[in-house]
């Protein structure tokens, strides 16, 4: 089997550190899939990255055929099959998203150009670095030769958080909860929606709204998921690294291998206007993925007025972010 070339940017950082372990073990692309790891970071982090490479070697992962560690985008993006774009300026306590936006869109403009010129045209790109949705939009904008549907943003962390909150409330394991949706932006405007979710309790499949208090699902559940990242930063003084790495692996694994029958997952993808979302932004929808690695927005879900209002708010934010990002890139 030919090795896959997998890029992780920001590879010397905390998310990269956790993510590389998961990828290298075969959790993402499969237990028999050989890998060539491309690790990109900025020049001042090369010493740290060298230590990460030593650890990868010392783990003696049977799937790893080679590790390429570099600060050069041409080398990093050359012929890659999949990309985890993690590297970005991290959000720190008290920082606003607009501060992040200005600093990070320029990084993703440059990486979009590198993808366009050097990566395989079939490359699957997952943007993790925040603001993830708008960074993914910019990345695609500057990689016009790669199909738009090959660019996604991570809202799987929010989905995992939402599933875990419901599971905790019902005293079941998180894998018993399915089809929780994250609509919109990976930000505090996102709309975590459990109205279509199901849970398996003692072997019986039940709709979550039938067993969880409706007022909770409209209030504390939503705010808990929206503000979870900030809560982790306040407690840890650092952002959510372990859970973000796990979510990135989950996202790419499902994209690579497909979603199980009857289940859907949340991914930030290019909006076609489904569910009245604004077009031409990266908006998180429920998607199903076939064995051909093509995602499809789940159609026909009933949306009540409460949900429509929440979905419109997060859509408006994404339109504003897109406008700000495009103007920054033109400076």
Look at strands 181-183 and 191-193 and give their pairing. Answer: antiparallel
Q: Tell me the binding residues for substrate.
A: 91, 97, 130, 161
| 186 labelled catalytic | yes
Of 38, 118, 186, 257, catalytic: 186
Give the three-class secondary structure for 181: strand
With contact defined as beta carbons under 8 Å apart, do 221 and 131 qualify?
no
d(CA 5, CA 312): 38
Q: Tell me the binding residues for NAD(+).
A: 10-16, 41, 104, 128-130
Q: Tell me the binding residues.
A: 10-16, 41, 91, 97, 104, 128-130, 161
d(CA 242, CA 180): 21
**Per-residue tokens: 241:** 């690294």
Question: 22: burial class by Cβ within 10 Å (0-12, 13-18, 19+)?
Answer: middle
Q: Report CA torsion sign: 261, 264, 270, 274.
A: positive
d(CA 40, CA 26): 20
**Per-residue tokens: 131:** 């603001």
Opening angle at CA 34, ends 50 and 4, nearest 5: 80
d(CA 303, CA 46): 49
Cα 314 from chain centroid (whole Å): 17
With the CA atoms of 13, 15, 20 and 23 taken in that order, what torsion angle do they form, in degrees rounded to the nearest 10?
-160
Bond before 38 cis per omega within 30 degrees: no
Q: Report CA torsion sign: 125, 128, 131, 132.
A: positive
- DSSP structure class, residue 44: G
How many residues in the chain?
Answer: 331
Cα→Cα distances 301→170, 178, 179, 275, 304, Å? 24, 15, 12, 9, 10
Which residues are tagged catalytic? 186
């Amino acid at each position: 089997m030919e090795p896959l070339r997998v890029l992780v940017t920001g590879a010397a950082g905390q998310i990269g550190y956790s993510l590389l372990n998961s990828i290298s073990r075969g959790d993402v692309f499969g237990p028999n899939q050989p890998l060539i790891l491309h690790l990109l970071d900025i020049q001042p982090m090369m010493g740290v990255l060298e230590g990460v490479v030593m650890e990868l070697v010392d783990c003696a992962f049977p799937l790893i055929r080679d590790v390429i560690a570099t600060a050069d985008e041409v080398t990093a993006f050359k012929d890659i099959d999949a990309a985890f774009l993690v590297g970005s300026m991290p959000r720190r306590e008290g920082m606003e998203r607009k501060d992040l936006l200005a600093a990070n869109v320029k990084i993703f403009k440059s990486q979009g150009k590198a993808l366009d010129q050097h990566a395989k045209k079939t490359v699957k790109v997952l943007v993790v670095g925040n603001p993830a949705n708008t960074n993914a939009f910019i990345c695609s904008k500057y990689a016009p030769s790669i199909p738009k549907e090959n660019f996604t943003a991570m809202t799987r962390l929010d989905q995992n958080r939402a599933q875990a909150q419901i599971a905790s409330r019902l005293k079941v394991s998180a894998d018993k909860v399915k089809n929780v949706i994250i609509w919109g932006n990976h930000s505090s405007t996102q709309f975590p929606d459990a109205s279509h979710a199901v849970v398996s309790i003692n072997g019986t499949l039940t709709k979550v709204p039938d067993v969880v208090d409706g007022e909770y699902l409209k209030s504390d559940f939503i705010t808990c998921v929206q503000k979870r990242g900030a809560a982790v930063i306040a407690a840890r003084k650092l952002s959510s690294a372990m859970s973000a790495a796990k979510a990135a692996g989950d996202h790419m694994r499902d994209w690579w291998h497909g979603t199980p029958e009857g289940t859907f997952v949340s991914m930030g993808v290019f909006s076609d206007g489904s569910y009245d979302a604004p077009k031409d932004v990266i908006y998180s929808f429920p998607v199903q993925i076939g064995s051909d690695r093509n995602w499809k927005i789940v159609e026909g879900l009933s949306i009540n007025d409460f949900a429509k209002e929440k979905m419109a708010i997060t859509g408006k934010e994404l339109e504003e972010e897109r406008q700000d990002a495009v103007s920054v890139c033109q400076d």
